[in-house]
Amino acid sequence: MIGLWHYAFIQHAVLAGVITALVAGCVGPFVIMRNMSFAVHGLAEVGFTGAAGAILAGLPPAAGVLTASFAAAAAIGLLGVRLRERDVAVGSVLAFGVGLGVLFLSLTSRYATEAFTILFGSILAVSQRDVERSLLVGVVALLALTAIYRPLRFASIDPEVAEARGVPVRFLSSAFLMILALAVTEAVQVVGALLVLTLLIVPAGAATRLTSDPVRTVAWSIAIALGATLGGLACAVSTSLPVSFFVSGFSFAAYLIARALGPRLLGAAGPAAPPDPETE
């Protein structure tokens, strides 16, 4: 890949990949902490609908992904207040969204290949404009996450006490959904709507197996997302097999390794608790 660096499409792909991995690596631990894997998947599928709609209207697909996942995030935020309601709300929004996507696809059969790249990623086709848009979205997502980082953690881990201490739990829940919509938009560009979990869940899932320290969790999560994305790009360029396959392969491998190593690492980090004798 280094030998191909002078090609603009390689530069664009690497830049977009790095931005995406950074955002996904930071957002992922919160997705896991808040049990929101299903919401991520839902936002991505609705993002696909947005892309199909954008293609139909002659707009850039990424703008469609962003608009649709944002709208879906707002809808989920409004419909699902409690955890149990949220899954049902996500499912309802998702199902309707994908239904619309099917309609749009049938109307744009000429551009079906373009819709295909939305489902499975198109990082080797990103333009200078796409990189700029990706950078803007990434910066907004990371700034927003930085601003709410501490109370969001409090509200995610300990909602009762956070509420008692005056943390605006509901506001943070909606704000995080919006950040998630931005992260999903980034990830769709790299691995496609069907594979966003490979960047938004898997690296963070591996990271939580490696450490209990919250700062190190984010660091590991970013490192694994970066490694999977750049490694995937390099392999795809030299074999001409799909990027998404390699990215998901690398991140899955990292997860399996972390699972295998995790118990030993965590055992060394702190005294292992005895099996709980205190609960009746």
Partner 1 sequence: MRTGVAFGLAHATLRLGGKVLWADLSLSVPNAEFVAVLGPNGTGKTSLLRTLLGLQPLSAGRVEVLGSAPRHGTPLVGYVPQQRAFDPDLTVRGRDLVAMGLNGHRWGFTVRPEPVERRVNEFLELVGARGYADAAIGRLSGGEQQRLRIAQALIGEPRLLLCDEPLLSLDMSSQQTIVQLLAEWSHRRGVTVVFVAHDINPLLGAVDRVLLLAGGRWAFGSVEEVLTSATLTRLYNSPVEVVRLGQRVVVVGAELGGHDHLPEHSAVSQ
Structure tokens at 104: 């749009």
- CA distances, 194 to each of 47, 80, 229, 245 (Å): 10, 23, 16, 12
Judged by beta carbon, residue 179 or residue 188, the one nearer partner 1 is 179
Residue 149 CB, shortest distance to partner 1, in Å, is 4
Residue 2 CB, shortest distance to partner 1, in Å, is 35
Judged by beta carbon, residue 2 or residue 273, the one nearer partner 1 is 273
Which residue of 127, 171, 213, 265 would you call a contact of partner 1, by CB under 8 A? Answer: 213
Candidates 40-48, 69-77, 99-107, 202-210; binding stretch for partner 1 (CB under 8 A): 202-210
Structure tokens at 267: 């055992």
Distance between CA 63 and CA 156 in Å, rounded? 30
Q: Does 170 bind partner 1 (CB under 8 A)?
A: no
Q: List alpha helices for 80-127, DSSP H.
A: 83-107, 112-120
Query: 263: burial class by Cβ within 10 Å (0-12, 13-18, 19+)?
Result: exposed
Structure tokens at 87: 């899954």
Site string for partner 1, 8-47 (x = CB under 8 A): ---------------------x---x--------------
Q: Does 84 bind partner 1 (CB under 8 A)?
A: no
DSSP secondary structure string for all residues of 181-220: HHHHHHHHHHH-GGGTHHHHTHHHHHHHHH-S-HHHHHHH
Distance between CA 201 and CA 33 in Å, rounded? 11
Q: Does 150 bind partner 1 (CB under 8 A)?
A: yes
**Side-chain-side CA neighbours of residue 147 (13 Å):** 10
How many binding residues for partner 1 (CB under 8 A)?
40
Which residue of 95, 99, 165, 241 would you call a contact of partner 1, by CB under 8 A? Answer: 165
Judged by beta carbon, residue 129 or residue 165, the one nearer partner 1 is 165
Residue 277 CB, shortest distance to partner 1, in Å, is 7
Give the interface with partner 1 as residue ranges (CB under 8 A): 29, 33, 146-151, 153-154, 157-158, 160-167, 207-209, 211-214, 217, 266, 269-274, 276-280
